[in-house]
Structure 1
C-alpha cells in the first residue's frame, strides 16, 4: 500500500489518452486566448486611422491597459474560484464569456465602447490561462510537466500566429472589424467539445473530499484509483492545516512557508508579461515607424510567435532534465539580448532571427515560470497560485502598452522602445535565484510535493 500511494494516481504511464485529451482541449482554449490578446496589436495601426475615432498612440495604449485590468481581475478572481468550484466549470464559463465579448468589439461605434468590451472580454480571458494550465498540469506526469506546459502555453503564440496571418489577409480587404468576429469561433467549436469531453481534475476532486466523483471520473478514463490513494489525499489535506475554502488558499500563498516564493513568482511574471504584451501590442507599429511596410511589420509579429512555439517546445525537453531555474535564467537573458538586437540596423534575415529568438525568450520564460509555480505549491492551492501569479503579472502587461505608447507618442527614436523592453529580462534573471525550495522538498527544481498533497495524475516512482 505504501508503494502504491507513493506512485500516485495512474501508476507509471507518462502519456495516457486522457492526458492527451485534456492537453488538446486546454491547448486549443489557450490558442483562443492568444488570438484575442494579439489581435489588438494587429489592428492598432487600423484603429489609429479609424474615421471619427481620433485615436492617438497614448489612447490606444490606454485601451490595451483597460483590457488588461479586466484580465488581472479575472485571473485573481477566477483562479481562486477555480480551487473552490472546479477547473472544468470555470474554464468553459470563461471561454464562453470572452468569446462573446470579443465578438461584440466588432460593432463598437466609439473607442470608449470598444474599450468597455475589451475590458469585459478581459474578465473571462484572465481566467482561461490559470485554469487551463492547472488542469493540464494535474493530468500530466511530473517528468514531462515542463513539456506539457510548453505545449499548452504554445497555444498562446499559435493564437498570435493566427491573429497575424488573419491581419495580413483580412485587414487590407475588409478592415479590422472581422478580426474580432473571428473571436466567436471558440464559442462554436471549442465549447461543445469541452462540454462533452473535458473531465474534471481527479486530484482536485480528491483534495475536496469528493471521492465518489473522483472514482467515477477515474473509471470513465480507465485510470487506476484505489482507497490508499484516497486516504493519502485526505491525510495530506488534513496535514496542511487548511480548510478547503478559496480564501484559505489565498492566505496560504502569503504564509511564512510560501511568501518568499510567491513574491518572486509575482514579480517575475510581471516582468515577463511586460515584455510579451509590449512586443505583441506594439511590435508592428514600432517596426512600421522604423521604416518597414505594414505587411512587413505584421510579418515580424508572425515570426515572433512562430519562434515562441517552436523554441519553447524544444527548450522544454531540456527543462525536464535540467530543472526550472537554469532554463528560466537562460530564457530571460535570451529575451533581453534579442530585444536589444532589434534596436540595431541589422540585415533583414538577422532581424527576423532576433525577433524569433525574442519570442523564444519571452514566451518561453512565461511557460517555464508557470511550470515552476505548478510544482511549487500543493494541488489545493494550484489554480489560486496560477491565478494570482498571472493576475499580478497583468500589472506588467497593463503597464507595457501605455509606456510604449507614450514613448512612441513622444516622438523618441524607435530604439528606446526596445531598451524599455530589455531591462525586465535582466531583472527577472536575478529574481529567479531568490526563489527558495518548496516546503518538504529537497530539490530547488520544485519536483517534489509541497505539503504532501497529491499533485498530478501520475507521480514519479
Structure 2
C-alpha cells in the first residue's frame, strides 16, 4: 500500500485533457458570474427612469446586492470546505440563474431588491469555490497563469453583458438582460457529470475510489488505486479548531488582516466602477452605446491585466506584480478625474480595469496559496467576504457623490484612495509565514508546524 498526497501529485502533473475540462467549466462559471454581476450597472440608466428612483436610491440597491454577496461568501465559501466545493458551485449557478431571471419581472424596486439579493448570495459563494478548485487542480509550475486565464472569464462575461446590453437597451428592454440568465440552468446536468469534487473533500470522507480515479486522470496513468493511503500533509500538522480560527494560527493573523484590507480596497473599486461607470460616462456627455463601450474597454483592460499579471507572476512573483498594478492604478484614477481627451479616457479606463479587477484576480490565488490545504477555501472566502464591505460602500458612496454638484468625472478621484490602501496593506503581508510563496520562477513551500 502506497502513501500518496493528492496535492503533491497534482502539483507535479503536466497540463492535459483532464485539466482542460476543469479549466473550461471554471471559465464558464466565472463568465456567468461576470455577466450577472455586470447586469445591474448596464441596466441602471433605464431602471432609474422605469422605477422613478434617485441616484442615491440606485446606489443603495447596488449596495444591497453587494451585501448579499458578502453574506454568500461567508455562508457558502466556508461551507465548501465542509460539504464539497462542487456542491456549492452547482447550487450557486442554479440559484443565480433562477432569481436573476425572476428579477427581470420585478414590478418595483422592492421586489427587484429581494430577487437580486437572493441571487447575490450565490454570486458571493460561487467565486471562492471556483478559484479554490482551479488552484487545487492546476500544476504548480504554471498555476498562477492558469488561474489568471480562468479568471479572464469574469471580464468576458462583462463584455458579453455589455454587447447584449447595447442591443437590448436599443430595441428591447433592460429586463431582457436579466431574463437571459435562465439559460445557465441548461448546462447544470453536464456540469454534474464532468466536473470533479475537491480531492481535499474526498480525503476527509475517505473516498479512495474517487481520489484514485482523479489522480489517474491527472497523471494520464493507472498508477493509483483505492488500496493506496491518501493523506494531506498540511491537515495532519495543523492544530485543531474551526477553519476560520486556523486563519490566525502559526503567525498568520497579521497577514490575514492585511489581506482583508487589501481586498476591501480592490472590491470597493470594482463594485463602484461596475455599478456606475456607464452612468458616469453618460453624465459626462457620452451616449448610451458609447458609455457601454467604456464598460467593454474596462473589461478588456481587466483581461489584459490578468493575463499579463499572471505571466509576470511566474517571473517576478506575486507581490511585485500586485504592488506595481496598484500603484499604477492610483496614478491612473487621479489622471481620469482631469483628462478631457476621449482617446486618453479609453486608455486610462483600460488601465483602470487592469489595476482593479486584474489585481483582484491575482490576489485571489495569492491568498489561496498562502494558507494550508484544508483552509484554503475558508481563507479565500473569508477574505473576499470581509472585502465585500468595500463592495457595499463603493456603489453607495458614488451614488452620494452624484447627489452633489461635483462634476461626474471627478468621482474617479475617489477610487485612488482604496487603490493606495490596498497597495500599502499588501506591503505588510508576511510571506515568511505562507505555505507556498511564488517568487518568480522559484516556488517555496513551508509545511505548517505544530504551534
| One of 164, 167, 170 as aligned partner of 2:168 | 170
For residues 89 and 163 of structure 2, what CA distance do their matches in structure 1 show?
A: 27
User: Corresponding residue for 1:197?
Assistant: 194
1:437 aligns with 2:431: yes
CA displacement at 1:236 relative to structure 2? 4.0
Quick check: 1:41–1:282 contact (8 Å CA) kept in 2? Answer: yes
Cα drift, residue 401 of structure 1: 0.6
How far apart are residue 232 of structure 1 and its match? 6.9
Match of 2:367 in 1: 373
SS in 2 for 1:374: helix
Residues 272 and 424, structure 1, Cα contact 8 Å, conserved in 2: yes
**Gap change, CA 1:84 and 1:414, over 3 Å in 2:** same
User: Would you say how many aligned residue pairs link Structure 1 and Structure 2?
Assistant: 446
Query: In the TM superposition, what is the alpha-carbon distance from 1:16 to its structure 2 partner?
Result: 2.1
Normalising by structure 2, what TM-score?
Answer: 0.92
**Residue of 45, 65, 68 corresponding to 1:67:** 65
Alpha-carbon offset, residue 379 of structure 1 = 1.5
Partner of 1:217: 214
What secondary structure does 1:9 align onto? Answer: helix
Matched, 1:341 2:341: no
> 1:116-150: CA deviations, max 9, x gaps?
11110011111111000000000001221211221
Quote the Cα distance in structure 1 between the aligned partners of 2:7 and 2:379.
24
Partner of residue 89, structure 1? 87
Partner of 2:111: 113
CA RMSD of aligned residues (A): 2.5
Contact 1:376 1:450 in 2 (8 A): no
Work out whether residues 202 and 218 of structure 1, in 8 Å CA contact, stay in contact via their aligned partners in 2.
no
Unaligned runs of 5+ in 2: none
1:320 CA drift (Å): 1.5
Match of residue 424 from structure 1: 418
Alpha-carbon distance in 1 for matches of 2:377, 2:215: 21
Structure 2 CA distance for partners of 1:86 and 1:443, relative to 1, 3 Å: closer
Residue 457 of structure 1 corresponds to which residue in structure 2? Answer: none
Residue 182 of structure 1 corresponds to 180
CA distance in 1, matches of 2:128, 2:286: 36
- Within the candidate set 63, 74, 77, 1:76 is matched to 74
Matched with 1:458 is none
**Structure 2 residue matching 1:8: 3-state secondary structure:** helix
Indicate if the aligned counterparts of 2:10 and 2:215 stay in contact, CA closer than 8 A. no
Residue in structure 1 matched with residue 402 of structure 2 by the alignment: 408
**1:141 equivalent in structure 2:** 139
- Aligned-residue offset at 1:358: 0.8
1:308 aligns with 2:302: yes
Which aligned pairs between 1:10-409 and structure 2 lie closer than 5 A? 10=10, 12-50=12-50, 53-189=51-187, 191-219=188-216, 222=220, 226=224, 233-234=231-232, 236-242=234-240, 248-409=242-403
1:411-448 deviations in Å (ceiling 9; x for gaps): 32224311111111111111111001253758574944
8 Å CA contact 1:40–1:281 kept in 2: the answer is yes
Listed one character per residue, the Cα deviations across residues 370-411 of structure 1 (whole Å, up to 9, x for unaligned) are 010111011110111111111111110110111000001223
- Structure 1 residues 235-254: Cα deviation after superposition (integer angstroms, max 9, x where no partner): 542221336xxxx1111113
